[in-house]
A and B are shown apart, each in its own frame.
Chain A
Amino acid sequence: MSFEKVAFAFFIVMALTLNFGFFLGDIDVPAHHNVYELFAAIIVSLIATIMKFGDRTQIGSYLLATSLVADVQLIIAALVWGIIVHGLNQPMTPEHMSSIVSLSGGALLANVTSVVLLIIEASRVRR
């Protein structure tokens, strides 16, 4: 067991769980989707991305790609939120909320792929 591997898996799984936590709930009810959770999901996802930097194996590049997809989706969701509430000074409507949550849903898929790849990688190398 190495600390590096623990941290690596921790952030990847954490990115998925936080993402899932934010996604959970009725899609158009703002009360079901916490802004702090989105923030945490973005930060953890970014850290997970950086942890994957520099892995030159093929599976390493797939892992990095899935993480990048999740980052992009989550950051766009945050941008949508920020632009609607602060840029356009409008209250959060169910329509806007559902588009934010569906973006995070996309990120969730990418994070699931990432974890699946992680499992494949782990089972491939039996040591």
Chain B
Amino acid sequence: MMSGTVFMLLRRMRLPLIILISSYAISILGFVTIPGQDDLGNVWQMDFFHAFYFVSFMGSTIGFGEIPYAFTDAQRLWTTFALYSTVISWLYAIGALLSITQSRAFKQVVSQARFNHSVDRITEPFYIVCGYGDVSFYLLNVLFRQGIRVVVIDNNQVNIDNLEIADLSFDTPALCADAADSESLIAAGLNKENCKGVLALTDQDEVNLMVAIAAKLIAPDVFVICRAENQDSEVNMASFGTDYIVNPYTSFADRLSMAIQSPKLFLLTEWLTDNKYRANDTGLAPPKGRWIICGYGRFGKCFEKYLSYVGCETTIIEAEPKKTNAPNNVIVGRGTEAVTLREAGIEKAVGIIAGTDNDPNNLSIIMTAQELNSDLFCVIRQNHGYNQTVFSSAKCHWVMQPGRIVARKVLSRINMPLLFSFLHVSRRENEKWTTLLVEKIATILGDNFPHCWSQSLNQYESPAFAALSTQHTIPLATILKDPSQQTRNLLCVPLLLKRQDQIILLPDKNTELQIDDALLFIGHESNEILMTETLDDIYLLNYLITGQDQPRGSLLRKLKGLPPMPKIS
């Protein structure tokens, strides 16, 4: 691993070392051949041992003096020569060593070696994240909390430095390289067995596309998630089997249209994917009616499409209608001035979307609009992660951060495949079904924030269940009980049961559970721990099944005539 650096160092140090050894050899040889005198005036020849000793301390300028006898003039002459030559060769060697270690090439080799080493050392499952920005920062923090590691590739050293400064709970290997280069993906551990997936989250579609292609070709089984901002690249990515594609613009527009069309379904989705709404919040649903869209870029176009899909009229304000291919009835202007907004009929509109790619302009649009019509539902696009305080004090109903949307979508996909299936399936259900479910959750959880978790009934995650399921039939109702008091139920609602390829929406309480089933719950956060405890502790689970709190020790069990508990594998 470190051989790259060692070899480079050795190769560059060849000449300095040879000069150093030669100067030592010549000096030593000189002292051995030049005759000296002992304290009695007899001729005394220095041997190799004394010569090496003398040259060693002379060359390092320690200087113990003329040892063992005072030198003759001939020896002193030679000492003068040897002194300068050895000291100069030392300085040259040290100088060369320092300049090598300071050189850019060497530093690059060292950081590459360090990166490879830390990637090799990861034994936990990990994801390769391409592009470090607001999205990745949010994502990394969530993944770390679940013990999933991340390797980052970014082509900008500034981002890599930011990552190193950021207060993250794990040491995250980061490589400054072009993610589109497959070599860097391999260096980041694409071929490793514990590499769970590649998340291509750079803000350039071409790079993400290249990453997805490379990942799918090199490691076809690896899960690939891409961020795409263009329809073209989205289609392209999907064509070769990219597992999941996130488009922040369509995602947000879809969310808004869903909130307008079916507020209950929207609330349910929000509960499951974010922790912004409480269970008894009805949510501030965006109104149906005429919306004003400022900016007709990708963002604006998306909104126009989705809003018209749910039957909302739109008025578009765009500064450069030619460049953006805007329709003829567009109102020309930036939307930051009251004149343009009045022309767009702001007084009679129900909502405004400030969707230009310029943050100050967006803020200005919202502030002007609120002065003209205080009842407006305001949606603002926040292009950059900073200035959080300014955006939250702008009193907008919704702030759209492309980064955060991508992160949320990616997380719900990789974190909880069950949640993803649930969201997918629940959209097909009717309004009544959704309303009933939302009301049920609201009555159970009240003022709390709903929390979503999944539970696999396998040997690793639920050892107690695996051990007892061979002896008892365990209905779903059993594990929904509170392990501290079996007459009480946990504050949660089972949303989904997955059995092999079969998906059961809102499973019945009497459903008999089988090993390797997977369940999705929504409920109180602390109840997740209680449920995990039940499924982990064979005595607790046994108590909930039989209703008897049995002794744990084998002696007491024997005295009571109880059979020993099955072993947990």
Chain A residues within 8 Å of B, Cβ to Cβ = 35-36, 39, 43, 46-47, 50-51, 53-54, 56, 78, 82, 85-86
Contacts and interface: CB of A to CB of B under 8 A. Distances in A.
Contacts of A35: 47-48
Contacts of A78: 48
Contacts of A82: 48-49
A54 B10 contact: yes
A92 to B, nearest CB: 11
A43 B25 contact: yes
A68 to B, nearest CB: 12
B7 A54 contact: yes
Nearest to A7: B18
Contacts of B18: 47, 50-51
Nearest to B16: A50
Contacts, number: 44
Contacts of A39: 25, 28-29, 32, 48
Contacts of A56: 7
A46 B21 contact: yes
A94 B32 CA distance: 24
Contacts of B24: 43
Interface in B118-167: none
Which 8 A-B pairs have CB atoms at the shortest separation, nearest pair first?
A54-B11, A53-B10, A43-B25, A54-B10, A86-B49, A82-B49, A50-B17, A46-B21
Given A36-B32, A39-B29, A43-B25, A50 B14 contact: yes
Contact of B22 (A47, A51, A86): A47
Given A46-B21, A54-B10, 20 more contacts: A35-B48, A36-B29, A39-B32, A43-B24, A47-B21, A50-B13, A50-B17, A50-B21, A53-B13, A53-B14, A53-B17, A54-B7, A54-B8, A54-B11, A54-B12, A82-B48, A85-B47, A85-B49, A86-B47, A86-B49
Nearest to A44: B25
B49 A53 contact: no
A54 B13 CA distance: 9
Contacts of B14: 50-51, 53-54
Contacts of B17: 50, 53
B32 A43 contact: no
A59 B535 CA distance: 59
Interface in B1-50: 7-8, 10-14, 17-18, 21-22, 24-25, 28-29, 32, 47-50
Contact of B21 (A36, A43, A53): A43
Interface string B393-405: 0000000000000
Contacts of B50: 86
User: In this complex, which of A47, A51, A54, A56 has the most chain B Cβ atoms within 10 angstroms of its Cβ?
Assistant: A54
Contact of A53 (B11, B28, B47): B11
Nearest to B8: A54
A43 B24 CA distance: 9
Contacts of A36: 29, 32
Nearest to B20: A50
A51 B11 CA distance: 9
A56 B25 CA distance: 28
B170 to A, nearest CB: 33
Nearest to B21: A46
Interface string B337-361: 0000000000000000000000000
B136 to A, nearest CB: 36
Contacts of A43: 21-22, 24-25
User: In this complex, which of B7, B14, B18 has the most chain A Cβ atoms within 10 angstroms of its Cβ?
Assistant: B18
A10 to B, nearest CB: 13
A54 B11 CA distance: 4
A35 B49 CA distance: 11
Contacts of B48: 35, 39, 78, 82
B5 to A, nearest CB: 12
A36 B30 CA distance: 12
A39 B7 CA distance: 28
Contacts of A47: 18, 21-22
User: In this complex, which of A36, A39, A78, A85 has the most chain B Cβ atoms within 10 angstroms of its Cβ?
Assistant: A39
A53 B29 CA distance: 26
Contacts of A46: 21
5 contacts: A39-B32, A39-B48, A50-B13, A54-B8, A86-B50
Contacts of A51: 14, 18
A54 B14 CA distance: 8
B2 to A, nearest CB: 13
A56 B49 CA distance: 36
Contacts of B32: 36, 39
B10 to A, nearest CB: 4
Interface in B284-310: none
Nearest to A83: B49
Contacts of A50: 13-14, 17-18, 21
A51 B50 CA distance: 28
A36 B32 CA distance: 9
A85 B47 CA distance: 10
A35 to B, nearest CB: 6
A46 B49 CA distance: 18
B490 to A, nearest CB: 62
B515 to A, nearest CB: 53
A89 to B, nearest CB: 11
Nearest to A11: B18
Nearest to A35: B48
A56 B7 CA distance: 7
Contacts of B25: 39, 43
A22 to B, nearest CB: 13
A43 B8 CA distance: 23
A78 B49 CA distance: 9
Nearest to B25: A43
Contacts of B10: 53-54
